[in-house]
Copies of this chain bind each other. A is one copy, B any other.
Amino acid sequence: MTDPSCPLCLPAREQVLWRDDFCRVIQVDEPDYPGYCRVIVNAHLRELTDLDRADQYRLWNVVTAVEVTLRDIVRPDKINLASLGNQVPHLHWHVIPRWHDDAHFPDAIWAPRRRERHARVVTGFVGCDLTPLLQRRLQELLQT
């Protein structure tokens, strides 16, 4: 189940934090939102309920592990979860750490920007490479 025209089936470049044969967790390069991750199902499926119940739970477990990882490592004021897929209809989840003074708060990150400040500055993550920290925590949570 691969669509050769789909950028999530055949990604050009991804920072993979964790993966198995069912899905992968990637770190999104977005300076406003340090720790922003996506969980991408490997198969080219469109909707959540195109998965059977067992695979829905499997995906859920990974999404919640990413939420716990972000709460532990970047300690945001809020977590945003979303599965939209309007632009790329290949099942994936956004797991987004939010801060009260980030670029869009309290709006969704898809709304117009409210301020210029970057959460990386606000939260003190300047120059900090979060990748190994996220990888280690995810590995701990998902190894069982």
Q: Is B81 in contact with A83, judged by CB distance below 8 angstroms?
A: yes
- Total number of A residues with any Cβ neighbor in B under 8 Å: 30
A116 to chain B, nearest CB (A): 19
Contact with B along A51-83 (1 / 0, CB 8 A): 000001100100010011001000000111111
Contact with B along A68-100 (1 / 0, CB 8 A): 100100000011111111110100000000100
A14 in the interface, Cβ–Cβ < 8 Å? no
In the complex, the chain B residue whose C-beta lies closest to that of A106 is: B86
A30 in the interface, Cβ–Cβ < 8 Å? no
Contact surface of A with B, Cβ cutoff 8 Å: 46-49, 56-57, 60, 64, 67-68, 71, 78-87, 89, 98, 105-108, 110-112
Query: Which 4 A-B pairs give the minimum distances between C-beta atoms?
Result: A108-B110, A86-B106, A82-B82, A81-B83
